[in-house]
């Protein structure tokens, strides 16, 4: 396994892991938080295990091809985390904390997708899967997607019922959940 690309993804996953400590408001890490963190921990362990040859990835293509294909996902994830962090003027509550929103953020990274942090997280997991195709990274990506989709739906329901409900519903119409909306005005949860 390429040491530089392994480092890139481990750095990417470390950035994700540090967000609750350096960016989000202080809160408790109860079981919902740990379930959400699980896919990122698993992906990290598989990458480390594969690097030290405790685990063997299933490489259907030449390794240089999967290496090359994976790098843009890791770089895009790190860039999107930075862009999204820079968008905020105040710290956010961890998703499982039911703090009432002080405002709705619809600029910066949120202009394009409703959950840019989650999009960045999914880019990291998908890039890890491309770089190190293994049952563990596949499980991490699929479970990460399902957990983040569930979490996003819960957050959207909470915000749709908040004091900003009208503004947030209009925002839902303009933006996609994890991918930019290509056709405006169509309701989609993607």
- Tell me the pLDDT of the chain (190 aa) as tens digits: 899 999 999 999 999 988 877 766 566 666 777 888 899 999 999 999 999 988 777 766 678 888 999 999 999 999 999 999 888 766 565 554 566 667 788 888 989 999 999 999 999 999 999 999 999 999 999 999 999 999 899 888 888 888 888 998 888 888 999 999 876 555 544 4
Structural domain contains residue 185: no
Q: Can you tell me the distance from the alpha carbon of 24 to that of 52, in angstroms, rounded to the nearest whole number?
A: 33
Which pLDDT belongs to residue 190? 46
Determine the Cα angle at 69 with ends 68 and 72, to 5°: 95
Which pLDDT belongs to residue 90? 65
Domain total in the chain = 1
Backbone φ and ψ for 113, nearest 5 degrees, come out as -140, 150
Structural domain contains residue 59: yes
What domain range includes position 115? 3-174
What residues contact 157, with CB distance under 8 A and at least 6 apart? Answer: none
DSSP state of 108: G
Question: 151: domain CATH number?
Answer: 1.20.120.1630
Which pLDDT belongs to residue 60? 64
Report how far apart the first and last C-alpha atoms of the chain are (Å, whole number).
33
Structural domain contains residue 13: yes
Which pLDDT belongs to residue 29? 63
Q: Can you tell me the distance from the alpha carbon of 123 to that of 38, in angstroms, rounded to the nearest whole number?
A: 16
Which pLDDT belongs to residue 74? 96
Closest CA to 50 of 134, 130, 121: 134
Structural domain contains residue 180: no
Helix axis angle, 116-131 to 3-22, nearest 10°: 160
Structural domain contains residue 187: no
SS3 assignment, position 105:
coil
Which pLDDT belongs to residue 186? 52
Closest CA to 162 of 93, 82, 88: 93
The region that residue 53 occupies, defined by phi over 0 for left and psi between -120 and 50 for alpha, beta otherwise, is left
Structural domain contains residue 75: yes
Closest CA to 83 of 107, 49, 54: 107
Closest CA to 64 of 5, 115, 126, 19: 5
Q: Can you tell me the distance from the alpha carbon of 1 to that of 40, in angstroms, rounded to the nearest whole number?
A: 19
Which pLDDT belongs to residue 148? 94
Structural domain contains residue 74: yes
Which pLDDT belongs to residue 42? 94
Structural domain contains residue 111: yes
């Amino acid at each position: 396994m390429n040491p530089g690309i392994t480092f890139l993804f481990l750095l990417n996953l470390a950035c994700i892991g540090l967000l609750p400590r350096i960016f989000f408001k202080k809160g408790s890490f109860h079981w919902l938080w740990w379930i959400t963190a699980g896919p990122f921990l698993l992906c990290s362990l598989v990458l480390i295990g594969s690097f030290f040859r405790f685990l063997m990835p299933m490489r259907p293509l030449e390794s240089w091809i999967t290496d090359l294909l994976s790098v843009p996902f890791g770089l895009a994830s790190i860039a999107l985390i930075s862009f999204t962090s820079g968008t905020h003027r105040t710290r956010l509550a961890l998703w499982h904390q039911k703090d009432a929103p002080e405002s709705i953020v619809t600029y910066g990274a949120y202009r394009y997708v409703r959950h840019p942090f989650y999009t960045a997280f999914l880019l990291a997991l998908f890039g890890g899967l491309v770089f190190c195709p293994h049952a563990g990274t596949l499980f991490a990506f699929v479970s990460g997607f399902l957990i983040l989709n569930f979490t996003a739906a819960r957050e959207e329901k909470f915000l749709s019922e908040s004091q900003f409900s009208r503004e947030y519903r209009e925002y839902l119409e303009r933006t996609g959940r994890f991918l930019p909306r290509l056709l405006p005005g169509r309701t989609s949860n993607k």
